[in-house]
Structure 1
Amino acid sequence: MDAGTLGVMIPIIALMIPIVAIWAKHQQKMAEMNVKSTAEMTAEKAAQYASHIKDLEDRVRVLERIVTDRGYDVSAQIEALRDQHRVEEQGAGVPLDGARKENV
């Protein structure tokens, strides 16, 4: 390398050092913003999931209370509905079992 080339390279390198430092600082800020954004989105999703899970737990508690209630008899209520439907269909319509009524 001769003195002329060296004389040109020194200022170029001297100008590149601050440019690289500015670029590196910018990249660091971008990475920090990305981490912060990801953390916020994750926290929001966690809150949504927690709310959804709480709603599901509340529904399960209600169902458990309904099923374990001593006055709640599912089979008796189903039979009562069937009996009520039989009384209603005696007047008109086709029975649920598919059999046709004979007109007497």
Structure 2
Amino acid sequence: MGWAEMVVGIVLVVTIGQIVRAKMGIRRDGQSGDYVAHDPAASAEARRLQEEVRTLKDRIAVLERVITDNHSSVSLDREIEKLRDDRN
């Protein structure tokens, strides 16, 4: 086998590999460069989880603000006591 036949063989193997990957839906990840299977259900789940994490972070921020803000916590205590007194 000569060098020209070897070059043609390598090109042929690489081309067939790329065609097989394309048919199977395997793509290269833009960030890490790894090959990953394209799964619409997994990407929808990832978007749902990202939205849930964003919502939880917003809730934590509100809780931190309520706990650390002394003035509003004192007024919050007054309002709770006022509601308790009105109920009795």
Question: When the two structures are superposed, what TM-score results if normalisation uses the length of structure 2?
Answer: 0.47
RCO comparison, higher one (Cα < 8 Å, 6+):
2
Normalized per residue, which structure has more strand? 2
When Rg is computed on C-alpha atoms for both structures, the one with the higher figure is 1
